[in-house]
């Protein structure tokens, strides 16, 4: 199966309390709008949880990449609870630990380091998706 035939939904937590939440959102945009627009589709977590039919259908049909800003892992948890399959579960904090020079600041607007961190995260996920065999169930970490 090549990349163009695969299709993933991307669900960021978009948490509003910390810069990492904004990083999750930016990374989702980088992935879905620029890096892998043919094979990814962004889904709003709240719509999924509250039962919006379009969101539910997409998550039922396609494996998910979840991007969480903190270790509460709300997106991963809620996608699973909604019946979705998580193909990649990303914690922004883990990516930051590998790139500690990219310290994000700002919630309404990320600093340059935060935007770079989002880009790095999106790039790692994109490469991982290209190499992914779609799993039936389960998840692995970036």
Partner 1 sequence: MPEYLELTADKFTFRVATDRLYTADGVWVLPEPEGKRVRVGLADYLQQHNGDVAFANVKPVGTDLGAGGQFAEIETIKAMVDLHAPVSGTVAEANAALNMSPEMINQDPYEKGWLAVMEPSAWETERSKLLGPAAYFAVMQKQVQEDLKGL
Partner 2 sequence: MERKVGIVSCSGEELAEGTVARLAALKVLNELRPRDTVTICLPLFLAGGAGDRAFAKLHPTITVDGCDWRCAAHGTEKYSNKPAASLVVKELVGECGLARPEGRRRLNAAGQKAVEVTAERLAALVDQALGKEGGTRAGDGAGSHEGNGEQREVTCSCGSGVPVTKVAIDGQTVEFVALPLIFRQFREKGGRQDGEGARELFETVKIYNAVPAEAEGSYRQAVLREYAAFREKEKQA
**Contacting residues toward partner 1, per CB under 8 A:** 18-20, 70-71, 93, 96-97, 100, 103-104
How far apart (Å, rounded) are the C-alpha atoms in residues 82 and 73? 14
Q: Segment 62-81, which members bind partner 2 (CB under 8 A)?
A: 72, 74-75, 77-78
134 binds, among partner 2, partner 1, none (CB under 5 to 8 A by kind): none
Is 49 near partner 2 (CB under 8 A)? yes
- In the bound state with partner 2, the residue whose beta carbon lies nearer, of 65 and 74, is 74
- Smallest distance from the beta carbon of 54 to partner 2, in angstroms? 10
DSSP helix/strand/coil, 68: strand
Q: In angstroms, what is the minimal distance from the CB of 3 to partner 2?
A: 23
> Interface with partner 2 includes 121 (CB under 8 A)?
no
3-state class of 52 per DSSP? coil
Alpha helices in the chain (DSSP H): 19-29, 45-49, 53-61, 74-81, 92-98, 112-130
State the DSSP code for 18.
S
């Amino acid at each position: 199966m090549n990349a163009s035939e695969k299709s993933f939904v991307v669900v960021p937590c978009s948490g509003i309390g910390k810069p990492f939440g904004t990083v999750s959102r930016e990374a989702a945009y980088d992935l879905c709008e620029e890096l892998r627009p043919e094979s990814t589709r962004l889904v709003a977590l709240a719509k999924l949880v509250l039962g919006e039919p379009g969101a539910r259908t997409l998550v039922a049909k396609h494996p998910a990449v979840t991007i969480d800003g903190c270790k509460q892992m709300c997106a991963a948890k809620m996608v699973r609870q909604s019946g979705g399959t998580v193909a990649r579960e990303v914690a922004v904090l883990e990516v930051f630990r590998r790139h500690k020079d990219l310290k994000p600041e700002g919630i309404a607007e990320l600093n340059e380091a935060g935007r770079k961190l989002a880009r790095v995260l999106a790039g790692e996920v994109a490469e991982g998706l290209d190499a992914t065999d779609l799993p039936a169930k389960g998840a692995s970490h970036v």
